Amino acid sequence: MQPEGIGQIALYCAVLIAVAYPLGRYMAWVYTRERDDVVERGIWRVFGRGSGTEQDWKSYAKTVLIFSLLFFGVLYALLRLQGHLLLNPDHLPGVTWPIALNTAVSFVTNTNWQYYGGEATMSYLSQMAGLAVQNFVSAAVGMAVLAAVVRGISRRSRSEIGNFWRDLYRSLVYIMLPLSVIVAVLLIWQGVPQTFDAHATAATLQGAHQTIARGPVASQIAIKQLGTNGGGFYNSNSAVPLENPTGFSNFIEVLAILLIPAAQVFMFGRMVRARRHAWMVFAAMFVMMLIGVGTAVAAEQHASQVLRSSGVSIAAGHGQSGGNMSDKEVRFGIANTALWATVTTDASNGSVDGAHDSLTAAGGAVPVVNMFTGEVIFGGVGTGLIGMFFYIVMAVFIAGLMVGRTPEWLGKKIGAREIKLAALGALFVPTMVLVMTAIAIGTKTGMASIFNPGAHGFTETLYAYDSQANNNGSAFAGYGATSFSASFGSLAMDFGRFVPMLAGLALAGSLAGKKTVPESAGTFRTDGPTFAVMLVGVIALTAGLMILPALTLGPIAEGLMH
CA–CA separation, 117 and 484 (whole Å): 19
Bridge partners, 145 (sequence order)? none
Residues 244-283 that bind other proteins (CB under 8 A): 245-251
Q: Is 171 in the site for other proteins (CB under 8 A)?
A: no
Q: Is 525 in the site for other proteins (CB under 8 A)?
A: no
Decide whether 319 or 442 has the Cβ nearer to other proteins.
Answer: 319
Residues 480-519 that bind other proteins (CB under 8 A): none
Q: Is 431 in the site for other proteins (CB under 8 A)?
A: no
For the CB of residue 124, give the shortest distance to other proteins in the complex, in Å.
9
The bridge status of strand 160-162 relative to strand 55-56 is antiparallel
CA–CA separation, 132 and 135 (whole Å): 5
**Which of residues 151, 412, 456, 514 is near other proteins by CB under 8 A?**
456
CA–CA separation, 344 and 349 (whole Å): 5
CB 407 within 8 A of CB 396: yes
Which region holds residue 139: left if phi is over 0, alpha if psi is between -120 and 50, else beta?
alpha
Residues 437, 372, 546, CA angle at the centre, nearest 5°? Answer: 75
| Choices 17-25, 91-99, 180-188, 507-515; region in contact with other proteins by CB under 8 A | 180-188
Size of the site for other proteins (CB under 8 A): 126
For residues 218 to 247, the per-residue mask of contacts with other proteins, x marking binding by CB under 8 A and - elsewhere, is: xxx-------------xxx--xxxx--xxx
Decide whether 56 or 527 has the Cβ nearer to other proteins.
Answer: 56
Q: Is 329 in the site for other proteins (CB under 8 A)?
A: yes
CA–CA separation, 376 and 189 (whole Å): 33
CB 360 within 8 A of CB 388: no
Residues 357-416 that bind other proteins (CB under 8 A): 357-361, 364
**Which of residues 51, 159, 482, 483 is near other proteins by CB under 8 A?**
51
**Which of residues 53, 273, 310, 402 is near other proteins by CB under 8 A?**
310
| Choices 28-36, 215-223, 272-280, 420-428; region in contact with other proteins by CB under 8 A | 215-223
**Three-class SS state of 118:** helix
CA–CA separation, 85 and 167 (whole Å): 33
**Which of residues 13, 74, 287, 546 is near other proteins by CB under 8 A?**
74
For the CB of residue 237, give the shortest distance to other proteins in the complex, in Å.
8
Residues 80-119 that bind other proteins (CB under 8 A): 117, 119
Q: Is 524 in the site for other proteins (CB under 8 A)?
A: no
**C-alpha to C-alpha distances, 89 to 124, 132, 145, nearest whole angstrom:** 8, 18, 38
Q: Is 313 in the site for other proteins (CB under 8 A)?
A: yes
Q: Is 144 in the site for other proteins (CB under 8 A)?
A: no
Q: Is 427 in the site for other proteins (CB under 8 A)?
A: no
For the CB of residue 168, give the shortest distance to other proteins in the complex, in Å.
8
Q: Is 212 in the site for other proteins (CB under 8 A)?
A: yes
For residues 190 to 209, the per-residue mask of contacts with other proteins, x marking binding by CB under 8 A and - elsewhere, is: xxxxxxxx-xxxxxxxx-x-
The helix (run of H) or strand (run of E) holding residue 369 is helix 361-372
Decide whether 67 or 495 has the Cβ nearer to other proteins.
Answer: 67
* Burial of residue 288, with CB atoms counted within 10 A of its CB: 0-12 exposed, 13-18 middle, 19 or more buried: buried
**C-alpha to C-alpha distances, 366 to 168, 359, 360, 458, nearest whole angstrom:** 33, 10, 10, 16
| Choices 126-134, 368-376, 490-498, 532-540; region in contact with other proteins by CB under 8 A | 126-134
CB 162 within 8 A of CB 55: yes
Angle between the 133-154 and 97-108 helix axes, to the nearest 10 degrees?
Answer: 40
